[in-house]
Amino acid sequence: MMRLFPQFATLTERLPEASSFAPRVDGIFTGLLIASAVVIVILTALTLTFLIRYRREAKVNRSAVRIATWKLETAWTAGTTLVFLVFFFWGASVYLDIKRVPAAGDADEINVVGRQWMWDIRHPDGRREFNTMHVLVNRPVRLLLSAEDVIHSFFVPAFRLKQDLVPGKTVDAWFKPTRTGVYTLFCAQYCGTEHSAMLGRIIVQSPADYAAWLAGDWKAAAAAARNTDHDLRSSGRRLFQQFGCSVCHDPDAFVHAPSLVGIYGQRVRLSDGTFVRADDQYLHDSILHASRQVVAGYVPMMPSYDGVIPEPDVLELISYLKSITPAPPAAPPAASP
């Protein structure tokens, strides 16, 4: 049933509790839901009873009830206030833990810069990722959030974590991922044209996978690629993933970026109305200085990779781009077991 109608899967199936405080937030929310359901059931039952029993046609006793109004008023005012206070303290106690960022030594520190419309993620050892953040499971992460232009908001639903990035200041936040997997990072604060495309992925890895990823950071990976891959094309494909190009340029990516399938040799229309042939020089310049020649119909949002991608790697990327051509029609997906 669940497999046929995935939309009816339970909330926790669709939204995993992947951080240390996610189950606690869900606990409060469940408490609120139960309390609300009780209130709604009681009020609905009373209202329906009164509506039916005291409809005009009914022959019932309608003489005024002799009770002191103030007693009822005091009772339900006090009751409501008490229940509210319980939820206030419950919510505040978890909030304080969400806001209590671990000290620098107890957590991995990651800098996150929000920029229209991408996430620029820098690890302390100089590794840099775009729209992707690799972290180690069960190890607290301390985020140092800043924004270059407007306000953005770092929102990972699976972690129940949200924190605005405010230009002009550095805000910290933290989380401890408790489950391996890939979780969506949204920008929750409206930030302009491509706000809904400002997406990223948090990749929570087991120690072994994380170590492998660490070992394969871009310099080493590039070197390794040159040694193990048979040709520039395959190492270029690997770099295409590593530098985050695929996050935007894959045909099925969330971000609105030109597809690069079959790009080589095509005539490309630019936003200033001119045309250019997608030759080696064009691809080279577009990787390093994307904003100089913007494809018509697209927003200049790709960052400059000048000084980020070493020249040999650019050449490998170009070889890869030359090699990708439109795929043959996909085979029908295998029936799920």
Between 25 and 287, name the residue whose CB sits nearer to another protein: 25
CB of 302 to another protein, least distance (A): 16
The residue among 321, 304, 303, 186 whose CA lies nearest residue 259 is 321
Between 199 and 221, name the residue whose CB sits nearer to another protein: 199
* Measured distance CA(222)–CA(225) in Å, rounded: 5
Between 75 and 220, name the residue whose CB sits nearer to another protein: 75
* Measured distance CA(22)–CA(159) in Å, rounded: 6
Between 192 and 262, name the residue whose CB sits nearer to another protein: 192
CB of 84 to another protein, least distance (A): 4
* DSSP secondary structure of 151-182: -EEEEEGGGTEEEEE-BTS-EEEEE-B-S-EE
Between 15 and 270, name the residue whose CB sits nearer to another protein: 15
3 state DSSP class of 315: helix
The residue among 167, 117, 112, 181 whose CA lies nearest residue 141 is 112
CB of 105 to another protein, least distance (A): 22
| Cα distances (angstroms) measured from residue 96 to each of 100, 104, 149, 162 | 6, 18, 29, 14
Q: Which two tokens stand for residue 216?
A: 């394969």
CB of 272 to another protein, least distance (A): 17
| Cα distances (angstroms) measured from residue 318 to each of 228, 232, 292 | 19, 9, 18
Between 132 and 163, name the residue whose CB sits nearer to another protein: 163
CB of 115 to another protein, least distance (A): 12
* Measured distance CA(25)–CA(27) in Å, rounded: 5
Between 102 and 312, name the residue whose CB sits nearer to another protein: 102
CB of 11 to another protein, least distance (A): 6
Which DSSP category does 271 fall into? T
CB of 146 to another protein, least distance (A): 10
3 state DSSP class of 276: strand
